[in-house]
Structure 1
Amino acid sequence: MATKDDVSQSARGLLKKVKQRYMKSADFNGLHISTIWNSREDLEAAAELVTARLVEVVGPSDYMNIHIRPWPTRRKVADQIRELRELSDDDYGVCLYPRAKALKRTKLPKKCEDAPFAKAMARGRSTLELAFFSADVLESYRNDARFRFGMGDFGINFWLSDEAFDGHQPEKDHVGLMHLGFAYDMRQYDPEVPNTPIVRRVAAFYGDLDDLTPEHQQRWASFQVGDDGIDPHPVWYASQMGHWPDGLGPFARLKPGAQSYQRLV
């Protein structure tokens, strides 16, 4: 398996820039490269790093916003290298992201101290990768009058209310999550056996969890469950990817005003 010591000096120099950009940016962003700002030597160094599986490319074909890595690359090495070599001055460019093995011994930034999800991002997790939790994680927010808490058929959101925010609440509680969803744990379910359970879980993106304060990240980490056998609610996940449902869920239909709302969607 190739390491950073197995690549050329120009590739090592580029890898250092990629890692610095990733660690020092606000949201673990990638290093933007294009033919306008970078030489062909830079592009070949990037191709060398991709071949060594030290970096990966995020381009327009991967995600609309190349400045975040949505998920571990879904493309073959050859496809990523081809995109690098076919870049022209008419293209916006691509972003380079360090892979987990390139980050293994990298010193963590201070913001990752006591912040498990920020640490996971610093070690190579992607912004739209999912983490799953026991539903109990929501109780303290639902029962805390300082927070506005909403739950629908497919998702959940909560945030510190304006009144509480203006009331000089501790900085550690200046938190909110707007893109939480439901997921289903099917590990105990057997369609051939009556009454076997389907367990509802909570799903959250690593990139959102990273925005929580360290105290709340630690709390969420204590409720995290393994992801084997768990799938996000398909309607919620589709909506997060920009595919909006064309109607209301069964519980939303029972709320006052739901019928008039439905006529608008």
Structure 2
Amino acid sequence: MSELSDLETLVLDFFLTSARNGRFNGVRAADAIARHTQTGSFQELLAQLIEGGSIECVFARRDVNPHIKRLPILPKDKQIEWVKIESLDSYCLYPSPALLAEKISPIELADRPFSRALLLGEAQLAFATFELGVLGRYRNDPRFVVQFHDYMGDMCISGEYYDSIKVPDRDKISVESFGLGLNADLIPHIIVFYRYLADLTPEHQQYWNSFVADHVPMCEPYFQSAVIGDWWENRSIRYAIQEEMRLINEMANAAFSKRLFRNEMTDDLSFDLSAFLVPSSDNFSSFIHSWDKLLSDNIEKDFFETRLI
């Protein structure tokens, strides 16, 4: 076995062993060189494999955790440049999608399309786009809790049903986070990172896969919070109304010792007030009706009563 193929096999075997345990980790360069017993310059061999398109590197300089491929890989020339200057314990090696496509059987994880995407080298924070109807199954199933926030949401089976032996294991699932995407016509879509989709059971991965839509851009606030880890400074109009209601009640209590609104909004939104609505006449009517209940129907009837002195 040549030095090149020896190192390539080491990186491939490490990744596949990790992937089949659900982790999809790369091997640290310092560990790879310790196990690489052939002669020659490790960096030169690695540069040849990167140039040849069979090995990729993830650097701590760019990503805080190089042990997982969170983001798309840097261009080859930049990888080769950094391999020559970065310390061996600060980056990890991965087989490229091209190499994985050659080595992995077409039937492996065929029933788990999103897990298979990671197995074939997809970045964990790459995302799939879905039609909004994908959530209908979970919103209409009392076993599941679907929560909506400004530009994101989450879904899981509730604890009561998760612990129940009557519920099949295939349904004991969750999607840690989903976000809002908009196409050119501003039609909302649901976007989910492959990392979260890969945790679904085969049955639910196939269900989600049936709702896959053409790729759309991720909305900026979700990108800021979910990818960069920066919460946006400007919240939605819905949040502004929530704050106005809270402040009005606070001022009313201070001035008149009673509230104007019986109930205040919370961060957990009903579906009818979320950003995940298909723009249809029925949804518009539901949207208006929900706001009417939350605002005009929510006013304390006796707030404006006067007392004769």
Q: When the two structures are superposed, what TM-score results if normalisation uses the length of structure 2?
A: 0.71
Residue 85 (str. 1) matches residue 72 (str. 2)? no
CA deviation profile, 1:101-127 (whole Å, cap 9, x unmatched): 111122359972410111111122110
Match of 2:172 in 1: 174
Q: Please, which of 207, 211, 215 is the counterpart of residue 203 of structure 2?
A: 215
User: 1:30 corresponds to which residue?
Assistant: 26
Q: Does 1:242 align with 2:229?
A: yes
Worse-matched range after superposition: 133-142 or 96-105: 96-105
SS at 1:231 equivalent: coil
2:179 and 2:245 map into 1 onto residues whose CA distance is 21
The partner residue of 1:225 within 173, 194, 213 is: 213
Higher strand residue share: 1
Letter in 2 for 1:80: Q
Paired amino acid for 2:188: R
The answer to whether the 8 A contact 1:135-1:200 is kept is yes
Does the 8 Å contact 2:14/2:26 carry over to 1? Answer: yes
* CA-CA distance at 1:37 after TM superposition: 5.5
How far the C-alpha of 1:206 sits from its partner, in A, is: 1.0
Higher mean C-alpha deviation, range 137-146 or range 251-260 = 251-260
Higher relative contact order (CA 8 A, sep 6+): 1
1:60-139 equivalences in 2 (<5 Å): 60-73=60-73, 75-88=74-87, 92-108=89-105, 112-139=109-136
Task: Report the CA distance shift for 1:152/1:206 in structure 2 as closer, same or farther (over 3 A).
Answer: same
Is the CA contact 2:182–2:188 (under 8 Å) kept in the aligned structure 1?
Answer: yes
TM-score of the superposed pair, with normalisation by structure 1:
0.82
Matched-pair identity in %: 27
Q: Distance in 2 between matches of 1:174 and 1:14?
A: 40
Summarize deviations over 1:8-67 as a string: whole Å, max 9, x none. Answer: 811211111222222221221111112896377333322211011111110012211101
Structure 1 residue 177, shift from structure 2 partner: 0.9
Aligned to 1:92, the other structure's residue is in SS state: helix
Q: Secondary structure of the equivalent of 1:131? A: strand
2:10 — aligned with what? 17
Question: Distance in 1 between the 2:63 and 2:246 partners?
Answer: 35
Q: Aligned residue pairs: how many?
A: 240
Unaligned runs of 5+ in 1: 1-7, 190-197
Q: Which amino acid aligns with 2:86?
A: L
Kindly indicate whether the alpha-carbon contact (under 8 Å) linking 1:137 and 1:220 is maintained by their aligned counterparts in 2. Answer: yes
Larger radius of gyration: 2
1:78 shift after superposition: 2.4
Partner of 2:157: 160
3-state DSSP class of the match of 2:153? Answer: strand
Could you tell me which amino acid in structure 2 is paired with residue 243 of structure 1? D
